[in-house]
Amino acid sequence: MGCIPRPPPRSAGASRPMEKKNSNFLSILDKVGKVRSLDRQKLLDELGRAYQEMEALNRSLAEANEQKTKLLEQLKLQASDLEQQIREDSLTGLYNRRYLDFRIENEFSRAKRYNRNLAVIMADIDRFKSINDTHSHLVGDEVLKVMAHLFRHNLRTVDFVARYGGEEFVMLLPETPSSGAILVCERIRREIEGYKWGALRPGLAVTMSFGLTCDINVADHAAMLAQADARLYEAKRGGRNQVRF
């Protein structure tokens, strides 16, 4: 058998180009890795800045929401105060005549629509001008405040009482027949008569007259109020400190 010839051995010079190529390739890879590393760091930095900006924005939004909440609370308080000023008498804390006009119209309409009882009462402090002239207007103001307290003490939560003007008051008693309304008036009248007014000012005595109606078969709420006023006049003319129906 013949011998297979061996390939000639590589010379040292033949391996140098390959080593150079390998070195260049590794250098390129190293540069690419560095670029990628730089890009990654740059991306992380940008993400960090974006996160900080988002946190700052969230804080600003939270502060804005807090300010908005406080502003809404202030507006609610102001609206409540304004509504109170519109509806209430500043001296006695009772409802005022403006709100009475609104309330009596509604109560009258409801009573007419459903054929329900409604008592309208007009009350007036007897000789109130004399109280002011004799004991001072400050004492007169205190008398009005006491009256407001006695009204609240003797009326139900569904009832309504307003300062009509000066020393006059109007009460609305829904779902109340004349017999019940008379009892309420008499109870208040007796409490006023028996109140210890001398503790407020020695020699002070206070009474009140009442006129009431339960007649809903009239033209409107104004006519019903006029009836109560006419009954009050009768109580005054009849000697005061009494209830007329």
Is 105 catalytic? The answer is no
Q: What is the DSSP string of 91-149?
A: TT-SB-HHHHHHHHHHHHHHHHHHT--EEEEEEEETTHHHHHHHH-HHHHHHHHHHHHH
Query: Helix (H, G, I), strand (E, B), or coil: what is residue 173?
Result: strand
- d(CA 230, CA 223) in angstroms, rounded, equals 10
* Helix, strand, coil percent values for the chain (each to nearest 5): 65, 15, 25
* Contact partners, residue 92, CB within 8 Å, separation at least 6: 144, 145, 147, 148, 163
From 167, 191, 193, 234, active-site residue: 167
Query: Helix (H, G, I), strand (E, B), or coil: what is residue 163?
Result: strand
End-to-end CA distance of the chain: 153
Active site residues: 167
